């Protein structure tokens, strides 16, 4: 009976926040390669979002881009209504996978971090994830999957990253609680913690700063910084049926940083 529930529909739909660039974009593309249609959000860059939609369509799948500021919680009810419309456009009432990926960076010493900066991080990285997941929950199919994006900085201490890493630490705790509470619906919940990745995140500091790039490479067992293609395929694979028994885990994808 359980296997019938998990396999009765081969067509899957994912919702991913922050899908117009970086790791989010790469994950959207890799989900499409695995036959998944995707509803993804973007904050401000509509042109980049349109490029992602075109890339997905070139792979023979469907993608719908919706604008959302994941730190603006009062707008979530309107967003949920738009998600329902998007699902109807895709010929479905519910979806299968949720990837809470959208995020902002912050670098600053503990004694210099302001209340406004901390509130901004909290809204995007924890409160927004908490309540967006809560509001989307009625639309997630039985046997669905949730992936929350964390960071290697919850394990590795890098001065100046304490505020950001603390929010991700809270997400890792929330992940375990969600796995326990949603288990009755067959929903598996995991956290993926990327290491340092060469994207435009944090102003492209890992990608564009040779000294930082070298430092990360030297402390990584595989001898280089990560690339988006190291992360997106892994998340897409984690959401597959082959990994349905992986639950309540923090999975670091860092090439072996600081081991």
CA-to-CA distance for 43 and 21, rounded, in angstroms? 11
CA-to-CA distance for 196 and 194, rounded, in angstroms? 7
Q: Which residue has the tokens 């919706």?
A: 66
DSSP 11-44: -EEEEESS-SSHHHHHHHHHHHHTTEEEEEEESS
Is 109 in contact with 205 (CB distance < 8 Å)? no
Q: SS3 breakdown of the chain: % helix, strand, coil, rounded to 5?
A: 50, 20, 30
Which of 150, 62, 135, 166 shows the shortest CA–CA distance to 101? 150
- Options 6, 42, 142, 164, the catalytic residue: 164
> What are the angstrom distances between the C-alpha of 12 and each of 34, 98, 199?
9, 11, 28
**Backbone Cα Rg of the chain:** 18
Q: Which residue has the tokens 């603006």?
A: 72
DSSP 78: H
**6 labelled catalytic:** no
The neighbouring-strand residues paired with 98 are: 15, 146
How large is the greatest C-alpha to C-alpha distance in the chain, in angstroms? Answer: 56
**Helix (H, G, I), strand (E, B), or coil: what is residue 135?**
helix
Active-site residue list: 164
């Amino acid at each position: 009976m359980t296997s019938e529930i998990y396999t009765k529909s081969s067509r899957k739909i994912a919702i991913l926040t922050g899908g117009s660039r970086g790791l989010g974009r790469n994950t959207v593309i890799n989900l499409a390669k695995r036959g998944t249609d995707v509803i993804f959000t973007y904050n401000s860059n509509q042109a980049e979002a349109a490029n992602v939609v075109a890339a997905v369509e070139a792979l023979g799948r469907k993608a719908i881009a919706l604008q959302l500021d994941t730190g603006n919680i009062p707008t979530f009810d309107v967003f949920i209504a738009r998600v329902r419309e998007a699902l109807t456009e895709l010929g479905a009432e519910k979806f299968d996978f949720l990837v809470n990926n959208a995020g902002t960076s912050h670098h600053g010493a503990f004694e210099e971090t302001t209340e406004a900066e901390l509130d901004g991080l909290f809204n995007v990285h924890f409160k927004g994830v908490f309540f967006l997941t809560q509001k989307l929950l009625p639309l997630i199919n039985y046997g669905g999957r949730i992936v929350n994006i964390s960071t290697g900085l919850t394990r590795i201490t890098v001065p100046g990253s304490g505020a950001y890493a603390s929010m991700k630490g809270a997400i890792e705790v929330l992940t375990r609680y969600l796995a326990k509470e949603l288990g009755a619906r067959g929903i598996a919940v995991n956290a993926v913690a990327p290491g340092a990745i060469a994207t435009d995140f944090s102003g492209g500091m890992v990608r564009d700063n040779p000294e930082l790039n070298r430092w990360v490479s030297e402390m990584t067992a595989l001898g280089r910084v990560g690339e988006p293609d190291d992360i997106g395929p892994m998340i897409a694979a984690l959401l597959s049926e082959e990994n349905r028994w992986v639950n309540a885990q923090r999975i670091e994808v860092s090439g072996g940083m600081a081991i």
